Structure 1
Amino acid sequence: MIFVLLSVLCSVLVSVLLKLARRFRLDVGQAIAWNYLVASVLTALLLQPAPASLREPGVPWLALVALGILLPTIFLALAAAVRHAGIVRSDAAQRLSLLISLLAAFVLFGEQLSAFKLGGIALGLLALSCMVWRSGHAPTAEGAAGWLYPLLVFAGFGVIDILFKRVAQAGVPLGTSLQAMFALALLVAFAMQLWRRVHRSTRFTARSAVAGLLLGLANFGNILFYLRGHRALPQHPALVFASMNIGVVALGAVVGLVLFRERLSRLNLAGVALAVVAIGVLARG
């Protein structure tokens, strides 16, 4: 379980770094681009990818390219969600994206629907509704961002998970597939930053590069420790899955409320609690 705990810490650390970006005047887009350089290098060093396998027939290049585009863009959406909606709701929305991948498992991959999974889906949708609810009258731009970006995170990470499943089905080794995804994401992320440099005169800064190094270490650590957790407990995948998702929601809530004094309504807090319950029910099913 130590690997799962480390993965939870790294996942929440990503959100904390994104939350601190504005305070330290960091360029989030640049940090995300450098993050994928760090992730690519660490993947090459630690997971020993075999690039030759990408030349074999049946490689799902469409899914890999889609992941290369989605990973940096959804990362930007996560950064915006953390900024506008806070760590608590952003982490919970990211973890509840499993509802989309679970629905895809029934519709696209032929998995059987159980009562526990049906109940978990219903609770998860209710939790998401509670978390993105904003009290008040017609929303301001900030208010709209407070529910729009968490919904983008929810949908985006759900689609990414489905694409991950598609790549896994094709039999591409994990290290190789991750290396391909990170390399493509690196190209897309830096292409976006070069466009900003040309059209908006945005300058690359050493401060944002250092932030990208830290972000890349945390992002890769999240993936590495999560995979090692599954390897350490091969007979208990549901335990690893539930511990990871519930741990991130719970620790994210504590960090958001204690360190950043995030303001949540009672309905928002109820949504976070329902998210924990929903994830547990889905793992049980």
Structure 2
Amino acid sequence: MIYVFLSVCSSVLVSVLLKLARRYRIDVFQAITWNYSIVVILFFFKPQLTNIHQAPILTYSALAILLPAIFVVMGLAVRTAGIVRTDVAQRLSLLISLSAAFFVFNETFNPLKMVGIGLGAVAIACAIPWQKQSSNDEGKGNSWLYLLTVFFGIGVIDILFKQIALYKEVPYTTSLFIIYAMAFTVSMLVLLYMVVTRRVKFTWRHILFGWILGFANFGNILFYLKAHQALSANPSIVFSAMNIGVIIIGTLTGVLIFKEKLTTLNKIGISLAIVAIAIIAYAKTLEKKDKVDRSSDKKIKTELLIRKLN
């Protein structure tokens, strides 16, 4: 479980850094751009680039654009809505991928998972500050829009990553390296345009901040993958512990360190989010057990049939 804990801490650290960016006058887009350079500098996943001609380039390209775009929106969400609400929206984005599995990929759901999805939908509605906020902070009134964009955007990204995980011609770690390298290239092209048009200028503090953000971001990915490897027989434990852990630690960080204010409705939403994730994780465990039982029954029936024929 140490890998789960490290992944949770890395994920919350990303939100904390995005929160601190404004305080230290960091250009979030520049920081996000340099964040993606970390994968190239560290050559993190030691990719095998021999089969890249078989790679799903369109899916890679979509992710290369979506990743930095949603990262920027996440920065706006953290700044205007706070760490707590942004982490809840980010974690409950799993409802998008689960819904896609049901409506698009025709996956069969048990009633318990449907209950979890329903509770999650109520949780996101409770966590988002729908009421108009009076503040001098530019964009504060759009915090609900940023949170919804994070919710749907990360959900779509998760669906695309799951499609890539099913693509066996290219190793998953190689795909990750290519995607993040492409995301860095896309972000850098946009940044160069902004520099040429004199909207921004390169400074070392943005680069250093971006590298720190990159270590936290890719630490989250690395430890999450290692957690699944270490607990390969119990993926639901990793799933639930990761998502619930981020919501709990993110809430404690936001409330205790950054003094974020939560309404009663927000607190209800956070509680429902934790319950929803736990129910979905348990439903996943039951589905896996049911598949094993059916496979075992089928094997027994086949053996009995063979004995009768003999």
TM over 0.5: yes
- Superposition TM-score, scaled by structure 2 size: 0.87
Aligned position for 1:174: 172
Q: State the Cα deviation string for residues 134-183 of structure 1 (Å, max 9, x = none).
A: 33589996443220101000011000001001111221212110111011
CA-CA distance at 1:284 after TM superposition: 0.9
What does residue 103 of structure 1 align with?
A: 99
Opposite residue 30 of structure 2, the aligned amino acid is Q
- For 1:181 and 1:256, locate their aligned partners in 2 and report how far apart those are by CA, in whole Å: 31
Question: Amino acid of the residue matched to residue 102 of structure 2?
Answer: F
Q: Structure 1-normalised TM-score? A: 0.95
Moved over 4 A (4+): 136-141
Unaligned runs of 5+ in 1: none
Matches within 5 A, 1:206-245: 206-245=204-243
Alignment coverage as a number of residue pairs: 281
Aligned sequence identity (%)? 49
The counterpart of 2:113, out of the listed 105, 117, 131, is 117
Give 1:213 shift: 0.8
Per-residue deviation at 1:259? 0.5
Matches within 5 A, 1:47-126: 47-56=45-54, 59-126=55-122
Q: Which has the higher contact order (CA 8 A, sep 6+)?
A: 1
Map Cα deviations across residues 174-218 of structure 1 (whole Å, 9 max, x no partner). 211011101110011111211221234311111111101100000
Q: Which residue of 2 aligns with 1:3?
A: 3
8 Å Cα contact 2:134/2:141 also seen in 1: no
Match for residue 128 of structure 1 among 124, 128, 141: 124
Deviations 1:234-261 (A, max 9, x none): 1100000000000000000000000000
Whether the 8 Å CA contact 2:17–2:213 is kept in 1: the answer is yes
CA–CA distance in 1 between the matches of 2:133 and 2:171? 51
Query: CA–CA distance in 2 between the matches of 1:136 and 1:145?
Result: 9
With over 3 angstroms needed to count, the CA separation of the structure-2 counterparts of 1:93 and 1:137, relative to structure 1, is closer
Q: CA RMSD in A?
A: 1.6
**Post-superposition CA distance 1:28-64 (Å, at most 9, x none):** 111100000002333x2x42111112123xx211111
Counterpart among 151, 154, 159 of residue 154 in structure 1? 151
| Uncovered stretches (5+) of structure 2, i.e. residues with no partner | 284-310
Between structure 1 and structure 2, the one with the greater Rg is 2
1:181-196 equivalent positions in 2, closer than 5 A: 181-196=179-194
CA distance in 2, matches of 1:137, 1:189: 32
Structure 2 equivalent of residue 12 of structure 1: 12
